[in-house]
Amino acid sequence: MRRPTIGVFDSGFGGLTVLKALLELIPVADYLYFGDTARLPYGSKSAQTVAKYAVEATQYLEQHGAGLLVIACNTATALALDPIRDASSVPVIGVVDPGAERASMVSENRKVAVIGTEATIGSHAYLRALEMRGLEAREKACPLLVPLVEEGWVDHPVTEQVARIYLEEVFTDGFANADVLLLGCTHYPLLKPVLRRVAPQHAAIVDSAESTAQVVAEQLRLAPPSVAPPQERLRPTLLRFFATDSAEKFRRLGARFLGRPIEDVQHVDLKE
Ligand code: DGL
């Protein structure tokens, strides 16, 4: 009779925005977070490499007790969801479908602008997920935004200028009236204030981190792993972090994404 242990995987720190949304929505659970910080960024790598790295990391989470896997990384979801599912024996939830579903619920004129890394946009995973739901999509890779967020420039004039240039190229021609901006990257929720300023006012911002947390909550309601006894429910949330690069750096940078201090970080060396 245990409460759920949710494994959250990302290429690095950005997936902590998904963990943050999960903690708000599902506080009575334990969480294992794996950040593949030694091998990031995934956004500029090939599908084959991303799949290899992501499968290794998610298997590590499963071996350490995860009963459900959340692929918080948009790039890993877009390029490697099938290989991850094939290698896992627990349910796997990615971020693309929940984000597309939410966009579909919000959009009235069925036109959506999607932004993400080179690899996510190059895979057209969001385009396919949106078209399946009867929406038109225009995709735009915004490779400069991840390093700007990692630099801590989340509300900086340079970031605002870069975001403005990217979005001007999306909200134009037949897409000037797109009424949703879908954030297809873990790092972009931190840029919401900047993006709100530079995106057209008629466009709603949809965050795949929040939509994914909702899908996980629904999945747990439908298939609760078990009913936790009262003392289990009262126990504080167990949060463990694994990082393939420096634990100290993960603690320092990660706190910014999670919005709270990070304590229990273990360095992991995944052998090639
Ligand atoms: N986590 C990645 C994503 O959501 C962004 C960072 C990276 O490129 O590794 O696409």
**Interatomic CA distance for residues 167 and 175, integer angstroms:** 11
Last residue of a domain, one of 208, 230, 256: 208
Q: Does the beta carbon of 73 sit less than 6 angstroms from any atom of ligand 1?
A: yes
Return the ligand 1 atom nearest residue 75 CA. 10
- Asked whether residue 220 is domain-assigned, the answer is yes
Nearest-CA residue for ligand 1 atom 1 is 73
Question: Who's near 231: CB < 8 A, 6+ residues apart?
Answer: none
Centre of ligand 1 from the C-alpha of residue 14, in Å:
7
Name the closest-CA residue to atom 7, ligand 1. Answer: 41
Q: Are residues 134 and 123 in the same domain?
A: yes
Residues of the chain with pLDDT under 70: 1-2, 224-234, 272
- Name the domain boundary from 208, 225, 252: 208
Are 109 and 129 contained in the same domain?
Answer: yes
Sort 152 into a burial class: Cβ within 10 Å, 0-12 / 13-18 / 19+: exposed
Asked whether residue 34 is domain-assigned, the answer is: yes
Note the pLDDT of residue 221.
Answer: 87
Within this chain, do residues 200 and 103 fall inside the same structural domain, yes or no? yes
pLDDT of amino acid 222: 76
- Quick check: helix, strand or coil at residue 112? strand
Alpha carbon separation from 93 to 69, 96, 98 (Å, rounded):
6, 9, 9
Model pLDDT for residues 230-260, shown as the tens digit of each residue? 666 667 789 999 999 999 999 999 998 999 9
* Interatomic CA distance for residues 42 and 56, integer angstroms: 14
ω into 41 cis (within 30 of 0): yes
- What number of residues does the chain have? 272
Best residue among 11, 17, 53 to mutate for probing ligand 1's pocket (most ligand atoms within 8 Å of CB) is 11
Pair 101, 204 in one domain: yes
CB of 54 closer than 6 angstroms to any ligand 1 atom = no
Looking at the annotation, which residues are catalytic?
A: 73, 185
Asked if residues 13 and 150 have their Cβ atoms less than 8 Å apart, the reply is yes
Instruction: Examine residue 41 and state whether it is found in any structural domain, yes or no.
Output: yes
Do residues 105 and 200 both lie within one domain?
yes
pLDDT tens column, 52-101: 999 999 999 999 999 999 999 999 999 999 999 999 999 999 999 999 99
Cα 80 to ligand 1 centre (Å): 13
Q: Specify which residues 94 forms β-bridges with.
A: 71
**Residue at which a domain ends, from 157, 189, 208:** 208
Are 184 and 165 found together in one domain? yes
CB of 125 sitting under 6 A from ligand 1: no
On whether residue 145 sits in a domain, the answer given is yes
Cβ within 8 Å of residue 230, ≥6 positions away = none
pLDDT of residue 237: 85
- Could you tell me if the CB of 58 is within 6 A of ligand 1? no
247 and 203 inside one domain: no
CATH number at residue 228: 3.40.50.1860
Distance (Å, whole) CA 165 – CA 162: 5
Residues 35 and 58: beta-carbon distance below 8 Å: no
Pair (112, 246) in one structural domain: no
Angle between helices 208-222 and 16-25 (to 10 degrees): 50
83 and 105 in a single domain? The answer is no
- Quick one: which atom of ligand 1 is closest to the CA of 119? 10
Q: Is the CB of 117 under 6 A from ligand 1?
A: yes
Q: Are residues 105 and 47 in the same domain?
A: no
CB atoms within 10 A of CB 228: 17
Residue 272 lies in a domain: no
CA-nearest of 24, 118, 125, 29 to 79 is 125
pLDDT for the residue numbered 232: 65
How many structural domains comprise the chain? 2
SS3 69: strand
Residue 90 lies in a domain: yes
Is ligand 1 within 6 A of the CB of residue 120? yes
Flag whether 61 is in a domain.
yes
In which domain, by residue range, is 148 found? 96-208
- CA–CA dist 25, 38 (Å, integer): 30
Judgement on whether residues 129 and 106 belong to the same structural domain of the protein: yes
Q: Is 42 in the pocket of ligand 1 (CB under 6 A)?
A: yes
Helix (H/G/I), strand (E/B), else coil: 196: helix
What is this structure's pTM?
0.94
Confidence at residue 1, expressed as pLDDT on a 0 to 100 scale: 44
Adjacent-strand bridge partners of 112: 137, 180
Shared domain check, 77 and 21: yes
